[in-house]
């Protein structure tokens, strides 16, 4: 079976690429190994830069009809004191806020929008197994269904554990933490109360998902077994100490089965393509959860890839000479973002988790941000728009 484009991995990068390429008239197949999008171990933050892309596609109002919470300002409880640190309300975009939307809704929405184009196909419960190569060029994918799908281009967007990026040079940046991920009950409030909690020896994130908290308990990398071996009661006590928000922990966590381990990885490829193959999203650059920017960078890669390649692919041209241009465009924002994440990891996360840093009161930077609201626009811009926000330039081949 032949397509112009096969995308391996239906996460934010792969689904967005699928939508944009199909919209531009490219016959596109997305392979996703899972049966559905119902997994809760990925982030939920759809940032202003991503919302702007939906605005450019004329899909923003429809997207925002899906269940979501608007976060216009972000704060953190540091050494027991609440500090406001970012204010998105002044960003020059159609939706100046973070939309907290369960990722399954977000991906399902993109799939629904993509299915309006005749060239789009999403095959779920179907994994890409290996690349088909001929004369040094990737020409397709063998799938878990036992068939071979040939294409002019394969995009690998199979996430941080990418199998399809194998062989390309990888630079490991590393992270000092891993995360336990679980839910706690809460009452629905009109305001979204998501926040980070920072104290000596303690980093905890509370994501307000309406009727429950999605919690991230951050601990030193590789120490999951040590935390578990201290026992569930000790863990519950540490969670309860976070504050009134976590009071329901005893009822909510009955066993370790309720607590998922998420390992944090930060790395990037030094080379994102080879003839017939392009790697994007976490597969090209696994992002730290700091700033919740991973989904958005993955989407930006997809937009840049479609801007660069959709028209030539739709015309039936060989994409190979263009492939290195994607890396040339996207590497700088990725490197800068990972640089800021690494700085935060080294200066804040590692010292706090290892208790080499004590925290009697919030650091000067946080107090300054809280005291001078104008300054809160700087982190809002860095997190909300990032270093090189992309815009949709590829055409809609079906627009009358
Ligand atoms: C603890 C934690 C919290 C995070 N929180 C946030 C957050 O709040 N906000 C944020 O923006 N980012 C967050 N991130 C990062 C974010 O999850 C990723 O950056 C983002 O999901 C990357 O998107 P992607 O499409 O490149 O890859 P993924 O989301 O990993 O998607 C890859 C897809 O490929 C599929 N797949 C894999 N192999 C195959 C195969 N062989 N065949 C077919 N399909 C395959 C997978 O099932 C998956 O659906 C977090 C990360 C961690 C670790």
**Which pLDDT score is estimated for 102?**
85
Round the average pLDDT of the chain to a whole number and report it: 93
Mutational test site, ligand 1, from 49, 289, 382, max ligand atoms within 8 Å of CB: 289
Edge-to-edge order in the sheet of strand 202-208: 81-87, 73-78, 195-199, 202-208, 212-220, 177-185, 260-263
Residues 116 and 243 in one domain: no
**Which pLDDT score is estimated for 41?**
60
Cα(241) to centroid of ligand 1, in Å? Answer: 30
Residues facing residue 143 across a β-bridge = 128
Count structural domains, the chain: 2
Per the structure, the complete domain to which residue 90 belongs is given by: 2-73+86-171+266-349
Q: At which of 349, 368, 391 does a domain end? A: 349
User: Stretch 150-174: mean pLDDT, rounded?
Assistant: 95
Reply yes or no on whether the pLDDT at 400 is more than 80: no
Residues 154 and 10 in one domain: yes
Report whether 1 contacts 93 (CB < 8 A).
no
Q: Specify if 400 maps to a domain.
A: no
- For residue 66, how many other CB atoms are within 10 A of its CB? 14
Ligand 1 pocket check for 262: Cβ under 6 Å: yes
User: Contacts from 205-208 at CB under 8 Å and sequence distance 24+?
Assistant: 206/242, 206/245, 206/246, 207/44, 207/100, 208/69, 208/100
Q: Specify if 199 maps to a domain.
A: yes
**Which pLDDT score is estimated for 52?**
98
Residues 187 and 274 in one domain: no
Q: Whose CA is nearest to atom 45 of ligand 1?
A: 9
Determine the 3-state secondary structure of 127 from DSSP.
coil
Q: Specify if 281 maps to a domain.
A: yes
Q: Specify if 389 maps to a domain.
A: no
Ligand 1 pocket check for 178: Cβ under 6 Å: no
Report the C-alpha gap between 226 and 235 in whole angstroms. 11
Q: At which of 311, 334, 349 does a domain end? A: 349
**Which pLDDT score is estimated for 351?**
87
Range in 44-53, 294-303, 330-339, 343-352 the model is least confident about:
343-352
Residues 147 and 58 in one domain: yes
Report the C-alpha gap between 86 and 373 in whole angstroms. 8
Q: Specify if 392 maps to a domain.
A: no
Residues 99 and 196 in one domain: no
Ligand 1 pocket check for 302: Cβ under 6 Å: no
Q: At which of 324, 349, 374 does a domain end? A: 349
Place of tokens 């941080």: 160
Atom number in ligand 1 closest to CA 12: 25
Q: Say what the pTM is.
A: 0.94
Residues 25 and 158 in one domain: yes
Residues 194 and 97 in one domain: no
Report whether 191 contacts 69 (CB < 8 A).
no
Mutational test site, ligand 1, from 6, 8, 11, 269, max ligand atoms within 8 Å of CB: 11
Among 12, 281, 2, residue whose Cα is nearest residue 121:
2
Residues 40 and 135 in one domain: yes
* Nearest-10 crossing angle of helices 294-314, 12-23: 30
Q: Specify if 380 maps to a domain.
A: no
Ligand 1 pocket check for 13: Cβ under 6 Å: yes
pLDDT tens per residue, range 176-185: 999 999 999 9
User: Stretch 177-203: mean pLDDT, rounded?
Assistant: 88
Residues 314 and 214 in one domain: no
């Amino acid at each position: 079976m032949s397509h112009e484009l096969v995308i391996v991995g239906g996460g934010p990068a792969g689904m967005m690429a699928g939508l944009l390429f199909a919209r531009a008239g490219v016959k596109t197949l997305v392979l996703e190994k899972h049966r559905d999008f119902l997994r809760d171990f990925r982030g939920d933050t759809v940032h202003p830069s991503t919302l702007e892309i939906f605005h450019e596609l004329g899909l923003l109002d429809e997207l925002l009809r899906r269940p979501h919470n608007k976060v216009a300002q972000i704060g953190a409880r540091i050494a027991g004191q609440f500090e406001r640190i970012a204010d998105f309300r002044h960003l020059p975009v159609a939706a100046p806020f973070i939309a907290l939307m369960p990722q399954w809704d977000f991906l399902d929405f993109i799939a629904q929008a993509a299915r309006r184009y005749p060239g789009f196909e999403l095959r779920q419960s179907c994994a890409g197994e290996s690349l088909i190569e001929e004369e040094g060029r990737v020409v397709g994918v063998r799938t878990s269904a036992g068939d071979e799908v040939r294409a002019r281009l394969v995009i690998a967007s199979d996430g941080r554990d990418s199998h399809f990026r194998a062989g390309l040079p990888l630079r490991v940046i590393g992270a000092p933490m891993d995360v336990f991920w679980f839910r706690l009950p809460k009452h629905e409030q009109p305001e979204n109360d998501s926040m980070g909690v920072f104290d000596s020896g303690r980093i905890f994130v509370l994501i307000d998902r309406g009727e429950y908290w999605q919690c991230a308990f951050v601990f030193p990398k590789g120490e999951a077994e040590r935390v578990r071996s201290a026992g569930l009661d000790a863990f519950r006590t540490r969670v309860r100490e976070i504050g009134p928000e976590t009071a329901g922990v005893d009822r909510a966590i009955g066993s370790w089965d309720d607590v998922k381990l998420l390992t944090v990885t930060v790395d990037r490829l030094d080379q994102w393509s080879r003839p017939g193959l392009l790697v994007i999203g976490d597969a090209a650059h696994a992002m730290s959860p700091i700033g919740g920017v991973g989904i958005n960078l993955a989407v930006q890669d997809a937009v840049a890839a479609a801007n660069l390649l959709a028209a030539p692919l739709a015309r039936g041209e060989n994409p190979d000479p263009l492939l290195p241009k994607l890396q040339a465009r996207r590497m700088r924002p990725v490197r800068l973002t990972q640089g800021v994440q690494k700085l935060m990891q080294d200066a804040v996360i590692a010292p706090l988790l290892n208790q080499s840093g004590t925290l009697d009161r919030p650091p000067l930077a946080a107090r300054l941000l809280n005291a001078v609201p104008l300054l809160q626009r700087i982190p809002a811009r860095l997190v909300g728009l990032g270093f090189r926000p992309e815009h949709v330039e590829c055409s809609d081949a079906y627009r009358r």
